Amino acid sequence: MADDRKRPAEYVEGLAKGIAVIECFDAAHSEMTLSEIARRVGLSPAAARRSLFTLADLGYVGVSGKRYHLRPKVMTLGSGFYFAARIDELLLPELRVIVETHGDAASVATLDGHDVIYIAHHSTQRARRATAVVGARYPAHATSLGRVLLAGLGDAELDDYFSSVEPKPLTSRTVVSKEELRRLIWKVRELGYATTVDQLDYGITALAVPIRNAEGRITAAVNSSGYSGLVSADQMVAERLEDLRSVASRIGVAALRAPALAAALSSK
Protein backbone atom coordinates (compact mmCIF):
# COMPACT_ATOMS: atom_id res chain seq x y z
CA MET A 1 0.00 0.00 0.00
CA ALA A 2 2.99 2.28 -0.27
CA ASP A 3 1.75 5.62 -1.59
CA ASP A 4 3.50 8.95 -1.17
CA ARG A 5 0.49 11.09 -2.06
CA LYS A 6 -0.58 13.64 0.55
CA ARG A 7 -3.86 12.55 2.11
CA PRO A 8 -6.65 14.85 3.30
CA ALA A 9 -7.28 15.05 7.02
CA GLU A 10 -10.56 13.13 6.60
CA TYR A 11 -8.81 10.15 4.97
CA VAL A 12 -9.56 6.93 6.91
CA GLU A 13 -6.46 4.74 6.74
CA GLY A 14 -8.17 1.72 8.26
CA LEU A 15 -10.91 1.75 5.64
CA ALA A 16 -8.33 1.96 2.86
CA LYS A 17 -6.46 -1.02 4.29
CA GLY A 18 -9.63 -3.07 4.48
CA ILE A 19 -10.53 -2.35 0.86
CA ALA A 20 -6.97 -3.19 -0.22
CA VAL A 21 -7.29 -6.55 1.53
CA ILE A 22 -10.51 -7.32 -0.36
CA GLU A 23 -8.94 -6.27 -3.67
CA CYS A 24 -5.88 -8.49 -3.24
CA PHE A 25 -7.95 -11.64 -3.85
CA ASP A 26 -8.22 -12.78 -7.47
CA ALA A 27 -8.38 -15.93 -9.58
CA ALA A 28 -4.74 -16.74 -8.88
CA HIS A 29 -5.04 -15.91 -5.17
CA SER A 30 -8.45 -17.19 -4.12
CA GLU A 31 -7.20 -18.43 -0.74
CA MET A 32 -4.28 -16.98 1.19
CA THR A 33 -2.65 -17.08 4.57
CA LEU A 34 -2.29 -13.98 6.74
CA SER A 35 1.36 -13.56 5.74
CA GLU A 36 0.52 -13.90 2.03
CA ILE A 37 -2.20 -11.25 2.29
CA ALA A 38 0.07 -8.90 4.24
CA ARG A 39 2.78 -9.29 1.62
CA ARG A 40 0.44 -8.70 -1.34
CA VAL A 41 -1.13 -5.62 0.21
CA GLY A 42 2.07 -4.22 1.68
CA LEU A 43 0.86 -4.26 5.28
CA SER A 44 2.39 -5.49 8.49
CA PRO A 45 0.97 -8.83 9.67
CA ALA A 46 -0.64 -7.04 12.62
CA ALA A 47 -2.40 -4.50 10.39
CA ALA A 48 -3.53 -7.23 7.98
CA ARG A 49 -4.85 -9.28 10.90
CA ARG A 50 -6.95 -6.36 12.17
CA SER A 51 -8.44 -5.79 8.72
CA LEU A 52 -9.18 -9.49 8.26
CA PHE A 53 -10.80 -9.75 11.69
CA THR A 54 -13.07 -6.80 10.91
CA LEU A 55 -13.96 -8.07 7.43
CA ALA A 56 -14.68 -11.53 8.81
CA ASP A 57 -16.91 -10.07 11.52
CA LEU A 58 -18.82 -8.13 8.85
CA GLY A 59 -19.24 -11.26 6.72
CA TYR A 60 -17.00 -10.30 3.80
CA VAL A 61 -14.15 -12.72 4.53
CA GLY A 62 -14.11 -16.32 5.73
CA VAL A 63 -11.31 -18.54 6.98
CA SER A 64 -10.64 -22.27 6.60
CA GLY A 65 -7.81 -23.40 8.81
CA LYS A 66 -5.17 -20.74 8.24
CA ARG A 67 -6.32 -19.67 4.79
CA TYR A 68 -8.66 -16.75 4.17
CA HIS A 69 -11.16 -16.42 1.33
CA LEU A 70 -13.83 -13.97 0.21
CA ARG A 71 -17.47 -14.65 1.00
CA PRO A 72 -20.46 -13.97 -1.30
CA LYS A 73 -21.39 -10.85 0.66
CA VAL A 74 -18.50 -9.07 -1.11
CA MET A 75 -20.65 -9.05 -4.25
CA THR A 76 -23.04 -6.57 -2.61
CA LEU A 77 -20.30 -3.92 -2.71
CA GLY A 78 -20.46 -3.75 -6.49
CA SER A 79 -24.14 -4.52 -6.96
CA GLY A 80 -25.12 -1.15 -5.49
CA PHE A 81 -23.46 0.68 -8.38
CA TYR A 82 -24.71 -1.86 -10.92
CA PHE A 83 -28.35 -1.28 -10.01
CA ALA A 84 -28.07 2.45 -9.27
CA ALA A 85 -26.44 3.02 -12.68
CA ARG A 86 -29.20 0.96 -14.32
CA ILE A 87 -26.70 -1.15 -16.24
CA ASP A 88 -29.34 -3.75 -17.12
CA GLU A 89 -31.68 -1.09 -18.49
CA LEU A 90 -29.31 1.36 -20.19
CA LEU A 91 -26.15 -0.49 -21.23
CA LEU A 92 -26.93 -4.17 -21.73
CA PRO A 93 -29.62 -3.60 -24.39
CA GLU A 94 -27.09 -1.66 -26.46
CA LEU A 95 -24.47 -4.39 -26.08
CA ARG A 96 -27.04 -6.97 -27.10
CA VAL A 97 -27.68 -4.97 -30.29
CA ILE A 98 -23.98 -5.19 -31.14
CA VAL A 99 -23.81 -8.92 -30.42
CA GLU A 100 -27.08 -9.70 -32.23
CA THR A 101 -25.83 -7.79 -35.28
CA HIS A 102 -22.21 -8.91 -35.39
CA GLY A 103 -21.93 -11.85 -32.97
CA ASP A 104 -19.08 -12.42 -30.55
CA ALA A 105 -18.93 -10.05 -27.54
CA ALA A 106 -19.31 -6.41 -26.54
CA SER A 107 -18.27 -4.48 -23.45
CA VAL A 108 -18.28 -1.07 -21.80
CA ALA A 109 -15.37 -0.04 -19.58
CA THR A 110 -13.89 2.92 -17.74
CA LEU A 111 -10.30 3.76 -16.84
CA ASP A 112 -8.95 3.25 -13.33
CA GLY A 113 -5.26 4.05 -13.00
CA HIS A 114 -3.35 1.73 -15.33
CA ASP A 115 -6.33 -0.58 -15.86
CA VAL A 116 -9.74 -0.71 -17.46
CA ILE A 117 -12.71 -1.87 -15.40
CA TYR A 118 -15.61 -3.55 -17.18
CA ILE A 119 -18.96 -2.09 -16.11
CA ALA A 120 -21.10 -4.01 -18.64
CA HIS A 121 -20.53 -7.05 -20.85
CA HIS A 122 -22.49 -9.33 -23.15
CA SER A 123 -21.08 -12.34 -24.98
CA THR A 124 -22.04 -15.40 -26.97
CA GLN A 125 -18.59 -17.04 -26.94
CA ARG A 126 -17.26 -16.93 -23.39
CA ALA A 127 -15.02 -19.98 -23.81
CA ARG A 128 -12.84 -18.30 -26.41
CA ARG A 129 -11.71 -15.24 -24.52
CA ALA A 130 -10.28 -13.88 -21.32
CA THR A 131 -13.09 -13.50 -18.79
CA ALA A 132 -14.67 -10.08 -19.27
CA VAL A 133 -17.29 -10.15 -16.54
CA VAL A 134 -18.58 -7.01 -14.87
CA GLY A 135 -15.92 -5.79 -12.46
CA ALA A 136 -13.04 -7.49 -14.27
CA ARG A 137 -9.97 -5.32 -14.76
CA TYR A 138 -7.19 -5.61 -17.32
CA PRO A 139 -4.12 -3.53 -18.20
CA ALA A 140 -5.19 -0.61 -20.35
CA HIS A 141 -2.22 -0.87 -22.70
CA ALA A 142 -3.30 -4.34 -23.88
CA THR A 143 -6.96 -3.61 -24.68
CA SER A 144 -8.80 -1.65 -27.35
CA LEU A 145 -10.96 -0.12 -24.61
CA GLY A 146 -7.90 0.99 -22.68
CA ARG A 147 -6.21 2.59 -25.67
CA VAL A 148 -9.34 4.61 -26.45
CA LEU A 149 -9.52 5.76 -22.84
CA LEU A 150 -5.82 6.63 -22.73
CA ALA A 151 -6.27 8.61 -25.93
CA GLY A 152 -8.94 10.62 -24.12
CA LEU A 153 -6.51 11.80 -21.44
CA GLY A 154 -4.95 15.24 -21.60
CA ASP A 155 -1.26 15.42 -22.51
CA ALA A 156 -0.19 15.92 -18.88
CA GLU A 157 -2.32 13.00 -17.70
CA LEU A 158 -0.93 10.80 -20.45
CA ASP A 159 2.61 11.78 -19.46
CA ASP A 160 1.80 10.80 -15.87
CA TYR A 161 0.52 7.45 -17.09
CA PHE A 162 3.69 6.67 -19.01
CA SER A 163 5.91 7.84 -16.17
CA SER A 164 4.32 5.40 -13.74
CA VAL A 165 3.31 2.37 -15.83
CA GLU A 166 5.50 -0.61 -16.69
CA PRO A 167 3.63 -2.44 -19.47
CA LYS A 168 3.78 -6.22 -19.15
CA PRO A 169 3.53 -8.70 -22.03
CA LEU A 170 0.39 -10.83 -21.83
CA THR A 171 1.10 -12.58 -25.14
CA SER A 172 4.09 -12.59 -27.46
CA ARG A 173 2.31 -9.87 -29.48
CA THR A 174 1.55 -7.48 -26.61
CA VAL A 175 3.06 -4.05 -27.26
CA VAL A 176 5.13 -3.07 -24.23
CA SER A 177 7.39 -0.39 -25.69
CA LYS A 178 6.28 2.94 -24.23
CA GLU A 179 7.41 4.73 -27.37
CA GLU A 180 5.32 2.47 -29.59
CA LEU A 181 2.34 2.61 -27.24
CA ARG A 182 2.44 6.39 -27.25
CA ARG A 183 2.52 6.35 -31.04
CA LEU A 184 -0.48 4.00 -31.13
CA ILE A 185 -2.43 6.22 -28.74
CA TRP A 186 -1.73 9.28 -30.88
CA LYS A 187 -3.08 7.30 -33.83
CA VAL A 188 -6.23 6.47 -31.84
CA ARG A 189 -6.71 10.19 -31.20
CA GLU A 190 -6.47 10.81 -34.91
CA LEU A 191 -8.76 7.97 -36.02
CA GLY A 192 -11.28 8.06 -33.19
CA TYR A 193 -11.11 4.31 -32.59
CA ALA A 194 -8.68 1.58 -31.53
CA THR A 195 -8.12 -1.98 -32.73
CA THR A 196 -6.11 -4.74 -31.08
CA VAL A 197 -5.18 -8.26 -32.17
CA ASP A 198 -3.93 -10.88 -29.69
CA GLN A 199 -2.79 -8.19 -27.24
CA LEU A 200 -4.69 -9.24 -24.11
CA ASP A 201 -4.98 -12.92 -24.98
CA TYR A 202 -4.47 -15.06 -28.05
CA GLY A 203 -7.52 -15.25 -30.28
CA ILE A 204 -9.02 -11.85 -29.41
CA THR A 205 -9.45 -9.13 -32.03
CA ALA A 206 -11.26 -6.04 -30.81
CA LEU A 207 -12.48 -2.65 -31.95
CA ALA A 208 -13.36 0.13 -29.48
CA VAL A 209 -14.76 3.66 -29.71
CA PRO A 210 -15.15 6.38 -27.08
CA ILE A 211 -18.24 7.24 -25.07
CA ARG A 212 -18.42 10.94 -24.22
CA ASN A 213 -20.16 12.66 -21.33
CA ALA A 214 -22.32 15.78 -21.54
CA GLU A 215 -19.21 17.97 -21.67
CA GLY A 216 -17.76 15.99 -24.56
CA ARG A 217 -15.02 14.31 -22.52
CA ILE A 218 -14.11 10.69 -23.20
CA THR A 219 -15.01 8.94 -19.96
CA ALA A 220 -15.85 5.41 -21.08
CA ALA A 221 -15.48 3.18 -24.11
CA VAL A 222 -17.48 0.46 -25.84
CA ASN A 223 -16.02 -2.35 -27.90
CA SER A 224 -16.85 -5.32 -30.07
CA SER A 225 -14.51 -8.30 -29.96
CA GLY A 226 -14.26 -11.52 -31.90
CA TYR A 227 -12.09 -14.54 -32.53
CA SER A 228 -8.90 -13.61 -34.38
CA GLY A 229 -9.12 -16.68 -36.57
CA LEU A 230 -12.49 -15.58 -37.94
CA VAL A 231 -12.35 -11.79 -38.14
CA SER A 232 -9.55 -9.29 -38.79
CA ALA A 233 -9.15 -5.80 -37.40
CA ASP A 234 -9.77 -4.34 -40.87
CA GLN A 235 -12.99 -6.34 -41.19
CA MET A 236 -14.17 -5.05 -37.83
CA VAL A 237 -13.56 -1.46 -38.83
CA ALA A 238 -15.35 -1.92 -42.14
CA GLU A 239 -18.33 -3.82 -40.73
CA ARG A 240 -18.76 -2.62 -37.14
CA LEU A 241 -17.33 0.87 -36.67
CA GLU A 242 -20.41 2.88 -37.57
CA ASP A 243 -22.67 0.65 -35.47
CA LEU A 244 -20.33 1.01 -32.51
CA ARG A 245 -20.27 4.78 -32.87
CA SER A 246 -24.07 4.86 -32.92
CA VAL A 247 -24.21 2.75 -29.77
CA ALA A 248 -21.63 4.95 -28.05
CA SER A 249 -23.68 8.03 -28.86
CA ARG A 250 -26.87 6.48 -27.52
CA ILE A 251 -25.14 5.39 -24.32
CA GLY A 252 -23.87 8.93 -23.79
CA VAL A 253 -27.43 10.26 -24.11
CA ALA A 254 -28.90 7.48 -21.97
CA ALA A 255 -26.47 8.29 -19.15
CA LEU A 256 -28.25 11.60 -18.69
CA ARG A 257 -31.31 9.66 -17.47
CA ALA A 258 -29.42 7.87 -14.69
CA PRO A 259 -27.64 10.11 -12.16
CA ALA A 260 -25.34 7.31 -10.96
CA LEU A 261 -24.29 6.39 -14.50
CA ALA A 262 -23.94 10.05 -15.49
CA ALA A 263 -21.71 10.61 -12.46
CA ALA A 264 -19.56 7.62 -13.43
CA LEU A 265 -19.23 9.05 -16.94
CA SER A 266 -18.37 12.56 -15.81
CA SER A 267 -15.40 14.34 -14.28
CA LYS A 268 -13.52 12.53 -11.52
Distance CA 103, CA 209 (A): 17
Print pLDDT tens along the chain (268 aa). 545 567 788 889 889 999 999 999 988 899 999 999 999 999 999 999 999 999 999 999 999 999 999 999 998 888 888 887 788 888 999 999 999 999 899 999 999 999 999 999 998 865 555 567 788 899 999 999 999 999 999 999 999 999 999 999 999 999 999 999 999 999 999 999 999 999 999 999 999 999 998 888 998 999 999 999 899 999 999 999 999 999 999 999 888 877 777 776 664 5
Distance CA 196, CA 202 (A): 11
Distance CA 95, CA 106 (A): 6
The whole-model pTM stands at: 0.84
Assess whether the region 13-70 and the region 77-264 belong to the same CATH fold: no
Output the CA–CA distances (angstroms, integers) from residue 225 to 6, 25, 105, 197, 253, in the order listed: 40, 27, 5, 10, 23
Instruction: Identify the CATH number of the domain defined by range 13-70.
Output: 1.10.10.10
Say whether 133 sits in a helix, a strand or coil: coil
77-264 fold = Beta-Lactamase (3.30.450)
Task: Locate all alpha helices (DSSP H) within the chain, ordered by sequence.
Answer: 13-23, 34-41, 45-58, 75-84, 87-90, 92-102, 144-151, 155-164, 178-191, 233-254, 259-264
Q: How many Cβ atoms sit within 10 Å of the Cβ of residue 21?
A: 27
pLDDT, position 133: 79
Domain coordinates in residue numbering, the chain: 13-70, 77-264
Output the CA–CA distances (angstroms, integers) from residue 136 to 20, 23, 52, 105, in the order listed: 16, 11, 23, 15
Determine contact, residues 107/145, Cβ cutoff 8 Å. yes
